């Protein structure tokens, strides 16, 4: 399965996903980039308009707070910071990449 997102600045988008999630670039040109992240494919298509767009993407990481710090350090935003509750430790954050693509960052929940 391959998911496509949009970018106004292709180089900025590719840099973000390579730096934050360790993406490997399978191919890249002015119109399309194809990245491999944890066995999945992420396509980035040019023509984005810097508008907030919900993507449905979720990235699962081992350390949610470290993941959020990496997102912010690389030009992304955290719309909903992770919060620990009395019932369980923090398990998700709502994030935005530098191109306006919204996604979730999660950590595995243990029963």
- Binned at pLDDT 50, 70 and 90, residue 111 comes out as low
Judge whether 68 lies within some domain. yes
| pLDDT, tens digit (0-9, with 9 covering 90-100), for 37-71 | 999 999 999 999 988 999 999 999 999 999 999 99
Domain count, the chain: 1
Per-residue confidence (pLDDT) for residue 42, from 0 to 100:
98
Q: For residue 44, tell me if it sits in a domain.
A: yes
82: CATH: 3.10.180.10
Q: Which residues contact 68 (CB under 8 A, 6 or more apart)?
A: 78, 81, 82, 93, 95, 105
Contacts of 8 (CB under 8 A, 6+ apart): 46, 47, 48, 49, 50, 99
Residue 105, helix vs strand vs coil: strand
| pLDDT on residue 7 | 97
Q: Give residue 37's domain range.
A: 2-106
pLDDT score for 91: 87
The answer to whether residue 111 sits within a structural domain is no
């Amino acid at each position: 399965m391959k998911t496509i997102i949009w970018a106004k600045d292709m180089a900025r988008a590719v840099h973000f996903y390579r730096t934050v999630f360790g993406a490997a670039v399978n191919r890249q040109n002015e119109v399309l980039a194809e990245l491999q992240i944890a066995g999945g494919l992420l396509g980035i298509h040019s023509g984005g308009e810097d508008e907030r767009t919900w993507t449905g993407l979720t990235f699962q990481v081992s350390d949610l707070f470290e993941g959020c710090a990496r997102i912010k350090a690389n030009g992304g935003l955290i719309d909903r910071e992770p919060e620990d509750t009395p019932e369980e430790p923090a398990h998700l954050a709502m994030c935005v990449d530098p191109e306006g693509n919204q996604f979730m960052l999660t950590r595995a929940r243990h029963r």
